Amino acid sequence: MLVRLLLWLLQTETGDRSELNLRGEEESLWNRFSAQEGGCFIANRPESGDGCFLLKARQRAEAAHILIVNHSLLLSDIATGNRVLPPYDVLVIDEAHHLEDEATRQLGFEAEQSALSEHFDRIQRSDGQGGIVNMVRQSARGAAAFAIGPQAYLVGLTQALSQANLQARDSLTPFFETVRRFLRLHSEEAGDYDRRLRITRSKRAQPDWERVETAWDALQRALIEVEDVLDALHTAIEDAEGHLTGYDEIESELGALTQAGRYLRDGIAAAIEQNDHERIVWLREGREGVISIAWAPLNVSKLLQERLYNDKRTVVLTSATLSTEGGLHYLKERTGLTEARELLLGSPFDYKRSALVLLPRSFSEPSWPGYQAQLEQAIVELSRATNGRALVLFTSHAALRTTRKAIEGMLEREHISVLGQGIDGSARQLLDTLRREPQTVLLGTASFWEGVDIIGENLSLLIIARLPFTVPTEPVFAARSELFEDAFTEYAVPQAVLRFKQGFGRLIRSKTDRGIVVVLDQRLTSKRYGRAFLDSLPSCTVREGPLDELPEMAANWLTRRER
């Protein structure tokens, strides 16, 4: 990786992480070399920063009239006390339907065991090598004209830090194993999803929660000891300025380590120790067995008002999918802009002529036994009728994998390829394949519900397997649902409608596009709330019919010429 970085540095003009294709195991190494959230000693000392990419980026931002950033950077700025972006008083937020979810992530906390392990490695690896401990030792021993007393004091502090770090590392695994046992004992089987357990007042009253608190107390005391020694070492290093080689780098790393350690300790302490009714706390076990501890604010609208909107002269939220059932009330409530003026604009596309929505009659609902077989049959027959050129949107990876396995052979006999997200390549690779080889059926989940932009005939059929409701037990969703009198109607349905509109928007991407959307979820017509989904779509041509007639209706729509 070092060789790749050195070659890249000869070519890059920005120093931006997005220019590199890093493997998973290289991410932690990247964090050791990169400057994030102000943790760069050169960028904080402009006189020595001629070659610093972060400093140059900040200078460009300070001099610019318009800054374009993503939601993550915008909200990380307010999460860090406005230390990332220069001051501004006009804010335009595009794709604003994501604002609540991104604010939930950025203003919350989540840490896996590996985050603490990497923190300990930055201090000193378990084999006694590397880290700030050895950086200080080498610098102190190689310092010229440095008194023996201060030198010995520095080396002594590194020994104390090494010992404190080792003790903290020893407390880490027992704590996370205790968390794992509690999580598995009090949660249901995860199925296709991560296993998650929301920590409520009743969960904290369980007898074995005390074991979690005891294990955390041991780890926290060890973390505090590490912080205390880091503080002492930091002070000693500052006193030795002018005597140590690599002083700037050591001083910056010590500051970053202290900040990172306190962030991790405070974040876990907030989850384990505090029963705050304004905070949602949960434990998670990923499908690979990785345990994490997380929390998020219960209500981000107040935080957005106080920390993002209040000092701005103008705030504009915009998106193609802000409205539900022709109004903006839901999103205004969720993002804390209830007093905002609103404007709904029509689409530039003639959906009546370009988009056909097909709804099958007498189709099984997703919870019924025959649903999966009917779903597979529908996808195969519809894809044959359109000769591929199809995107199928799922809400579950398990359903995607099951469907792919069942339909692959049948469609490949028709020379139609079937590609699945997470199975046959990255999202970009799969989309590129569909653009090059239209005789393809692409099966996607989460990220494919938006951001897919394929103009022209190569995407002519969009199949929505089921309405995109959030899993009811998801901790943030479950906690926020409790704030409503009728949570399903007032919260679950509008949230799912916005996602449904995003999925629908994958089909028509230009004024000349033409295609079919098939919704294989009977609830759209059998349930009263189904009307909310249909009423939120632009004015399309909508037809119902028996499943065996839908392929012919689709083929006729694509071949019919405009009069």
Q: How do residues 281-318 score in pLDDT, each as one tens digit? A: 999 998 788 999 999 999 999 999 999 999 899 999 99
Alpha-carbon span 556 to 517, nearest angstrom: 14
Question: Hey, is 369 helix, strand or coil?
Answer: coil
The winner for highest mean pLDDT among 141-150, 190-199, 255-264 is 255-264
> What's the pLDDT at 301?
94
- The pTM of this model reads 0.87
DSSP secondary structure code for residue 107 in this structure: T
Query: What was the pLDDT predicted at 244?
Result: 79
CA distance 517 to 358: 6
Is pLDDT of 43 > 70? no
CA–CA gap between residue 132 and residue 225 (Å, rounded):
16
pLDDT at 530: 95
Q: Which residues contact 17 (CB under 8 A, 6 or more apart)?
A: 30, 34
List the Cα angle 177/173/175 in 5-degree steps: 55
pLDDT tens across 333-389, in order?
A: 999 998 899 999 988 899 999 999 999 998 999 999 999 999 999 999 999 999 999
Q: How confident is the model at residue 451 (pLDDT cuts 50, 70, 90)?
A: confident
Instruction: Kindly state the average pLDDT of the residues 471-496.
Output: 96
What average pLDDT does range 437-453 have in this prediction?
A: 91
Q: What does the alpha-carbon distance between residue 507 and residue 105 come to, in Å, rounded to a whole number?
A: 29
Residue 37 binned pLDDT confidence (cut-offs 50, 70, 90): low
Phi/psi at 458 (nearest 5 deg)?
-65, -20
Closest by CA to 535, choosing from 485, 500, 484, is 500
Angle at which helix 71-79 crosses helix 99-106, to 10 degrees, equals 40
Under CATH, to which class is 351-559 assigned? alpha beta
- Strand extents, DSSP E, 220-290: 279-285
DSSP state, 82?
S
Mean pLDDT (whole number) for 242-259:
85
List Cβ neighbours of 396 (8 Å cut-off, separation of 6 or more): 192, 193, 445
Closest by alpha carbon to 281, among 177, 197, 194, 207? 197
31-35, 76-80, 150-154, range with greatest mean pLDDT: 76-80
Confidence category of residue 556, pLDDT binned at 50, 70, 90? very high
In sign, the C-alpha dihedral spanning 282, 287, 291, 294 is: negative
Mention every residue, 6+ apart, whose C-beta is less than 8 A from residue 217: none
What is the residue-wise DSSP string for 25-37? GGHHHHHHHS--T
Beta strands in 45-155 (DSSP E): 90-93, 109-112
- pLDDT over 90 at 563, yes or no: no
CATH 3.40.50.300 in the chain, residue ranges: 351-559
Instruction: Tell me: pLDDT of 44 over 70.
Output: no
Q: How far apart are the first and last CA of the chain?
A: 60
How high does pLDDT run on average in the chain? 90
Six token digits for residue 366: 């997703």
- pLDDT band for position 452 (cuts 50, 70, 90): confident
